[in-house]
Amino acid sequence: HDPDPDLRYIAALRLANLHSDAGLPLLLEGMQRESLFGKLTNACALAILNHPRGLHFLHSLIATHHTLSKQDRTRLLFHICGLGEQVGFELPPCDRPEDLPVETIFQNASDWIEGCSGFH
């Protein structure tokens, strides 16, 4: 009996958060999803694992974030902040929501990605 595909996918994400690549095939398969949110979720999990596919996907989106729709840019920021919490790159303080330091957050994420051995 094969487990539910959604449960397998959730398990793959959890394994990545624990720095285990046991779910790597499912995460790579998930990069084929059409939804940006799904791709971002997978890319962040792959980045935690230092996998080039996730690192390059995120780096490319960060570099072109000005071309994204407001909604997609917000999705990218949401995922990048979660990744920062997981891997430990600095997230700057924010006193007021309207002062959210988006550029600094994206730059810190980009610097972290560029420092990953899987990126080169």
Q: State pLDDT tens for residues 76-86.
A: 999 999 999 99
Two tokens, residue 41: 């979720």
Give me the pLDDT at residue 106, please.
95
- pLDDT tens for the chain, 120 residues long, are 677 988 999 999 999 999 999 999 999 998 987 799 999 999 999 999 999 999 999 999 999 999 999 999 999 999 999 999 999 998 888 888 788 889 999 999 999 999 999 998
The number of folded domains in the chain is 1
pTM, 2 dp: 0.87
Question: What's the domain range around 52?
Answer: 5-119
Task: Please classify residue 81 by burial: count the beta carbons closer than 10 Å to its beta carbon, then call 0-12 exposed, 13-18 middle and 19+ buried.
Answer: middle
